[in-house]
A and B are shown apart, each in its own frame.
Chain A
Amino acid sequence: MMFDSNKPEDDLDQVLGSVHIEPDAQFTRQLHARLRQSVEAHADEITAARTNHRRMRPGRRRLLSRSMEPMNRGRVMNRSSWMLPVFSVMVLGVLVLGFIALVILPNLPSHQPALFGFPTRMPTETPLPTEAPTAGGPLEATPVGVGNCPVPQAGQQQYTHPTGGYCFLYPEGWTVEASSSPYDVLLKGPFHDLEHTQEGETAMLFINLIAAPGAAAGVTPDQYADEVVAKYPGENITRSNTEIGGVPGVVLQGIPEIGMTREAVIVANNTLYSLEMSGTAGEVVQQDADQGWALLTESMTFFAVPPAEVVKADDVCPKADADTQLVIDRAAGYCLLLPASAERQYPDTPIYYFGPQLAAMPESFEPHASIGIGAPGFAEGKTAAQFAQEQGSGEITEMTIAGVHAAIVERQGDVVPDRVAYIVANERLYTLLVSPTDPTKFPEAVQPIEEVWSTALESIAFFTPWD
């Protein structure tokens, strides 16, 4: 039918250009209301910021143009010598305003709540522990106290994460932002007044603890790297050895994940650390990223902290038998049993298909029932019921799964109905989704889905990622 021509990409161009994904009408209404609230809530901030911005910019421009054109400045001063003090005061005022606008205002804390991931709150001073914490187990790196953290030189700043067990230097003008994870931070490069189209672009470096402090006993960087590479068969991911903070590590480049260009993995003090550099568009921003990366990796210092409470996979995960298979995700911290016959479709997405072919399934869907397991990240204090209310649109049933609070929603969906369980365990959100759940339209799916659902709910267990 389609793609019979010699240039199939032209047909694809037609398809992609013809089909539109429309935003849901309810979402559009909610967004409208949300923005309206946002405008009303932040009217003062926006107005004040814009007024400051507008007052600052012309002055900055004048100052810059004068410094670029000394002959013009000379003519102004010769024409009226009495203007010298006035001009000096003006320049001083502009400098002060510029300093306030460029240095102080961007660093003022904002009270804007984070929607997800990294909050927009600017960093506050990191409290240093009054005494160096003690190690809680065998150490792979030489344990050093927080007192061994590097001292910033001119043009550098220092950051210490007292519970993550690391400290580092970063260039002046960068900011450190907290993450939804209690151990991770995001380093953001400075804003450049570049092309307007790249206004939002800044260099970004991420420091993530793939495993909580003390939870990576016996794990090596190579093991982690092997798992990452295995997820992308056929991709040209290069790996090389490195040493960061006096500890051997592995650097991966070419991981086909969105926005990533480089990742270094290190295990120090039984903790699995990942340093990542995000891809950037422009040369100036890339230079920032390279500069930040160099300083970060050269100065990174690890110190021992009390280990987090660790739940080991071996202690909680069920054992598979002839009829079942164990599904375990060490990075996400969950395991469960599914029927042995369930097949995973994609290596990087845990969606399993099972049961007989379903005649009524739309052609573009897989003709089987499916279960998908999701681990979107930290729950940030929300309950399972709150997630269900926010994301579901059907009746909510609250219950206990694996000893923790869970909420289940039956959703009708536009095409295929489904059932989602939201579970909050170890401060993280997990989801289980089965479809299709319409007994009238898909009667042959009812029994397999209920069997898989009950097997999954009865066997699912949660542990500390990368225990």
Chain B
Amino acid sequence: MYYQFCNKSGGLAKIMAETNTGEGRGMSSNEEILALFENWYALEMPRLYRYVMYRVRDQAAAEELTAAICEEALRYLHRYEPQRGGMSGWMYGIARNTLKEFFRAKVRRPASVPLDSLHNLRAPGHSPEHAVELIEVFRQAVRSLRRLPDQEQEVVALRYGAELSNQEIAELMGLNPNHVGVLLHRALKKLRQAMQTEERA
């Protein structure tokens, strides 16, 4: 799994290894940092994509943004220090900033694809009948997310898209975990109300 982005001659890992001077106790080598990133990517990219999809609800945009976030992370990989925190937190910090720029650049420019086109939905571990029911409600929920304030949308996306814990979300958003719990509870309640409103409409 390691060095999957590197070419056969060693690519970045080799170059990084050659420049690893061992300076600075506790600092990880370049090779280790790249390996950490690759490992994170291999395991966590689908969650990152899911988080982005929750936020933009547009497949083409979500794909482009996920790619941009990974490339941005690669570009700034030299800043990452594992001693100071996990890679997930670092990656989602980059993701949040990338999304902010995206939304501001896109301000008041509507999505080019109807929200109904949410593809590739799976409900693993459920019977086919139950999965169909879950997916149907899920589509309605994601469609109604737009009715929620930004902060609540963000909490929902980080909790269910990125599958982060309340503690991790709290660190990312500069809140305390209890506040995250309250926000999440309130968001789900509002989301349900929004779904009922749209159903009635």
Contact = CB atoms under 8 A, between A and B. Distances in A.
A188 to B, nearest CB: 9
Interface in A397-423: 413-416, 418, 420
A319 interface: no
B188 A47 contact: no
B67 A115 contact: yes
A43 B11 contact: yes
Contact of B11 (A39, A372, A377): A39
Given A179-B105, A200-B96, A376-B109, A413 B117 contact: yes
A36 B89 contact: no
Interface residues of A, number: 104
Contact of B104 (A52, A58, A276): A276
Contacts of A324: none
Given A1-B133, A19-B134, A418 B96 contact: no
Main secondary structure of the interface of B (DSSP, over half): helix
A17 B105 contact: no
Contacts, number: 312
A13 B171 CA distance: 22
B135 A19 contact: yes
Given A204-B101, A278-B104, A364-B116, A50 B16 contact: yes
Interface in B113-143: 113-126, 133-141
B103 A51 contact: no
Contact of A18 (B50, B116, B123): B123
Interface residues of B, number: 109
Contacts of A117: 101-102, 104-106
A199 B104 contact: no
Contact of A374 (B6, B34, B71, B111): B111
A365 to B, nearest CB: 5
A27 interface: yes
A406 B97 CA distance: 33
A40 B92 contact: no
A372 B105 contact: no
Given A24-B120, A54-B24, A416-B117, A47 B16 contact: yes
B119 A413 contact: yes
B85 A38 contact: no
A258 B108 contact: no
B4 interface: yes
Contact of B114 (A17, A35, A47, A370): A370
A74 interface: no
Q: Interface on chain A toward B: helix, strand, loop, or mixed SS?
A: mixed
A457 interface: no
Contacts of B174: 195, 198, 281-283
A326 to B, nearest CB: 17
Nearest to B50: A21
A433 B114 contact: yes
A350 interface: yes
Nearest to A43: B12
Contacts of B124: 20
B188 A27 contact: no
Interface string B166-186: 001001111000000000010
Given A15-B134, A349-B115, A413-B117, A281 B192 contact: no
B200 interface: no
Contacts of A309: none
A131 interface: no
Interface of A: 1-3, 8-9, 12-13, 15-24, 27-28, 30-32, 34-36, 38-40, 42-47, 49-55, 57-58, 110, 112, 115-118, 120, 179-180, 186, 195-202, 204, 206, 208, 228, 256-260, 276, 278-279, 281-283, 331-332, 346, 348-351, 363-366, 370, 372-377, 391, 413-416, 418, 420, 431, 433, 435
12 contacts: A12-B137, A16-B156, A35-B70, A39-B34, A43-B12, A47-B19, A57-B81, A196-B81, A282-B174, A351-B114, A364-B140, A372-B110
Given A45-B75, A374-B112, 6 more contacts: A15-B134, A195-B174, A197-B89, A202-B97, A257-B107, A350-B110
Task: List the 8 closest pairs (A to B, CB-CB), nearest first.
Answer: A374-B112, A117-B105, A50-B78, A196-B85, A197-B89, A200-B93, A9-B188, A200-B94
